């Protein structure tokens, strides 16, 4: 008989309000992925195990909030759980950085080998009252190069699957942009940062490690489900990225936002559509340029006479910092 791996729960950093929970994560067997391990074979092993997952399906999970409230959520056919519901006021349960810490466990765990004594930590961001605006940002080719515009997509494959997270290079000065926007003009605003990417949830820990290693501000990381050719679940009518962005904006009806993306995919189309639906909620749009003449010409045509909100196409981080100063977003 093969020895079974112990069970774990990966709670994704999420967001919500003092009276609304939006908790997400996944129940899996622990494949012992260690992102700090060096060496090519460790990298190959980790890459394989990120996608060859053993989900814990249709299992009831128990969630314990700091205010003693207890909730239950069932995992789906891919091991994911989602709690999206109203709750009692959580004001007294938030730490000074705006994070709600909760604990999640398998509700029935008899005869099961479970890590961390079946007590897994989770976090949900509740933006501080001192926040002046929020930042919603893409990751791929906005914070780090992935090669999205590479004709054969070989750069995406090599960079995402065959490089250690700590060896991935963030664009020069990118972390400074996000830190400055997080601090705001007063330096103490604690403006929330939301990272939204088309990368699959399988890369969650990899990207979390990258952001922390490169000193980006901590924030919810919102990825998408990894669909196989055999996946028969119904697809959304709108893209994952558009869905998540609009959900964030709806969650915080009194907050304005800065949108950051790149010219490699369809960020500008999504962002302009967001402005159309929420015309008074977007303070600025920043789009990192890419080395692709046809795509850049298309985007330049789109924004040529656009005056609804400030839009900046940028190559260097200093351009964003200077523009953000002019808009009085940062000091």
HEC sequence for the chain: CCCCCCEEEEEECEECECCEEEEEEEEEECCCCCCCCCCHHHHHHHHHHHHCCCECCCCEEEEECCCCCEEEEECCCCCEEEEEEECCCCHHHECCCCEEEEEEEECCCCCCCEHHHHCEEEEEECCCCCCCEEEEECCECCCECCCCCCCCCHHHHHHHHCCCHHHCCECCCHHHHHHHHHHCCCCCCCCCEEEEEEEEHHHHHHHHHHHHHCCCCCCCEEEECCCCCCCCCCCCCCCHHHHHHHHHHHHCCCCEEEEEEECCCCHHHHHHHHHHHCCCCEEEEEEECCCCHHHHHHHHHHHCCCCCCCEEEECCHHHHHHHHHHCCCCC
For residue 74, the model assigns a pLDDT of: 97
Q: Cα separation of 79 and 101, whole Å?
A: 22
Q: Cα separation of 62 and 74, whole Å?
A: 9
Which part of the chain has CATH 2.60.40?
7-125
pTM: 0.88
Longest dimension (CA), the chain: 68
Indicate whether 313 pLDDT > 90: yes
Selected residue with higher pLDDT from 329 and 163: 329
Indicate whether 162 pLDDT > 80: no
Mean pLDDT of the chain: 87
Q: Cα separation of 150 and 165, whole Å?
A: 20
**Confidence band of 129 (pLDDT split at 50, 70, 90):** confident
- Cα-Cα-Cα-Cα dihedral sign, residues 212, 217, 219, 223: negative
Q: What angle do CA 281, 283, 287 make, to 5 degrees?
A: 120
For residue 151, the model assigns a pLDDT of: 47
**Regarding the domain with residue range 133-227+237-326, which homologous superfamily does it belong to in the CATH classification?**
HAD superfamily/HAD-like (3.40.50.1000)
| Tokens (6 digits) for 144 | 């780090």
Which part of the chain has CATH 3.40.50.1000?
133-227+237-326
Indicate whether 255 pLDDT > 50: yes
CATH topology of domain 7-125: Immunoglobulin-like (2.60.40)
For residue 184, the model assigns a pLDDT of: 97
Q: What angle do CA 116, 117, 121 make, to 5 degrees?
A: 50
Q: What's the number of CA atoms in the CB half-sphere (13 Å) around residue 170? A: 21
- Dump pLDDT digits (tens) for 276-294: 999 999 999 999 999 888 9
Indicate whether 52 pLDDT > 50: yes
Q: What is the mean pLDDT of residues 71-81?
A: 95
User: What is the percent of the chain where pLDDT is above 90?
Assistant: 68
**Confidence band of 212 (pLDDT split at 50, 70, 90):** very high
Q: What is the mean pLDDT of residues 236-261?
A: 93
For residue 24, the model assigns a pLDDT of: 97
Q: Cα separation of 189 and 133, whole Å?
A: 9
């Amino acid at each position: 008989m093969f020895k079974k791996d112990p069970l774990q729960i990966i709670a994704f950093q999420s967001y919500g309000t003092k009276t609304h929970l939006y908790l997400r994560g996944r129940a899996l067997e622990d494949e012992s992925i260690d992102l700090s391990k060096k060496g090519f074979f460790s990298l190959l092993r980790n890459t394989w195990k990120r996608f060859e997952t053993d989900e814990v399906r249709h299992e009831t999970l128990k969630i314990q909030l700091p205010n003693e409230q207890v909730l239950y959520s069932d995992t789906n056919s891919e091991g994911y759980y989602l709690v999206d519901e109203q709750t009692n006021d959580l004001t007294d349960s938030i730490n000074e950085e705006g994070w709600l810490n909760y604990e999640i466990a398998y509700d029935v765990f008899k005869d099961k080998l479970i890590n961390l004594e079946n007590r897994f930590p989770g976090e949900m961001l509740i933006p501080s009252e001192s926040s002046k605006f929020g930042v919603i940002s893409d990751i791929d080719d906005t914070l780090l190069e992935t090669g999205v515009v590479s004709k054969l997509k070989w750069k995406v494959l090599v960079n995402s699957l065959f490089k250690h997270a700590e060896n991935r290079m963030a664009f020069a000065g990118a972390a400074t942009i996000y830190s400055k926007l997080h601090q705001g003009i007063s330096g103490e605003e604690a403006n929330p940062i939301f990272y939204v990417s088309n990368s699959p949830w399988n890369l969650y820990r990899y990207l979390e490690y990258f952001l922390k290693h490169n000193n980006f501000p901590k924030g919810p990381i919102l990825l998408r489900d990894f669909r196989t050719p055999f996946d028969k679940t119904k697809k959304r009518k709108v893209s994952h990225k558009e869905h998540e962005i609009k959900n964030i904006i709806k969650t915080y009806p009194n907050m304005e936002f800065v949108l950051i993306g790149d010219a490699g995919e369809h960020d500008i189309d999504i962002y302009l559509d967001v402005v159309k639906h929420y015309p008074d909620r977007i303070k600025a749009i920043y789009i990192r340029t890419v080395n692709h003449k046809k795509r850049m010409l298309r985007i330049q045509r789109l924004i040529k006479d656009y005056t609804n909100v400030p839009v900046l196409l940028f190559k260097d981080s200093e351009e964003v910092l200077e523009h953000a100063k002019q808009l009085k977003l940062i000091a």
